[in-house]
């Protein structure tokens, strides 16, 4: 199936402190998820980690501060920046821009488990995060 779309077509209700995710590409072994947020942060004490191949974060617009576990200061990424996070690292979103939309892609390998790929839904999701 061939699909087209626009990563900047933001037909979602945007609320401060709410991140919205949508899987925009799904191929054998690969998932591409678009995230859109304003003023978001991962709740204190929570770390994200990927099981298997790590992730690539590509920021399309806005800004995000991503903290890798074990590092002292967050890495600040803006439009055009990318960060490859290996499969051994945990990370958290320290902040996204407080008044502008931050739009980024998360590209990750899908895990194979009993002949079924495990992946997130393609329906847009709202995720309540700590408001900054």
* Residue-by-residue pLDDT tens, the chain, 132 positions: 566 666 667 665 566 666 666 666 666 677 888 888 889 999 988 998 755 568 899 999 999 999 999 999 999 999 999 999 988 888 999 999 998 889 999 888 776 554 444 333 334 444 455 554
* Residue 14 pLDDT: 61
> What is the pLDDT, as a whole number, of residue 59?
95
Do 95 and 103 touch, CB atoms closer than 8 A?
no
User: Which letter, b or e, does each residue of 100-111 get, where b requires 16 or more Cβ atoms within 10 Å of its Cβ?
Assistant: ebbbbbbbbbbe
**Token couple for 63:** 């800004």
pLDDT of residue 5: 67
All domains of the chain, ordered by start, with CATH? Answer: 18-111 (2.60.120.10)
Looking at residue 68, its pLDDT comes to: 93
Helix, strand, coil % over all residues of the chain, rounded to 5: 0, 55, 45
Tell me, what's the pLDDT at 79? 94
N-term to C-term CA, the chain: 40
């Amino acid at each position: 199936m061939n699909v087209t779309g626009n990563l900047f077509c933001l037909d979602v209700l945007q609320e401060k402190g709410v991140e919205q995710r949508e899987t925009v590409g799904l191929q054998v072994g690969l998932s591409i998820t678009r995230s859109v947020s304003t003023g978001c942060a991962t709740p204190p004490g929570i770390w994200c980690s990927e099981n298997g191949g790590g992730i690539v974060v590509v920021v399309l617009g806005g800004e995000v501060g991503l903290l890798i576990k074990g590092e002292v200061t967050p890495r600040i990424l803006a439009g055009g920046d990318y960060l490859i996070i290996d499969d051994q690292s945990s990370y958290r979103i320290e902040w996204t821009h407080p008044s502008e939309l931050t739009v980024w892609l998360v590209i990750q390998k899908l895990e194979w488990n009993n002949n079924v790929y495990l992946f997130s839904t393609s329906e847009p999701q709202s995720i309540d995060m700590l408001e900054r």
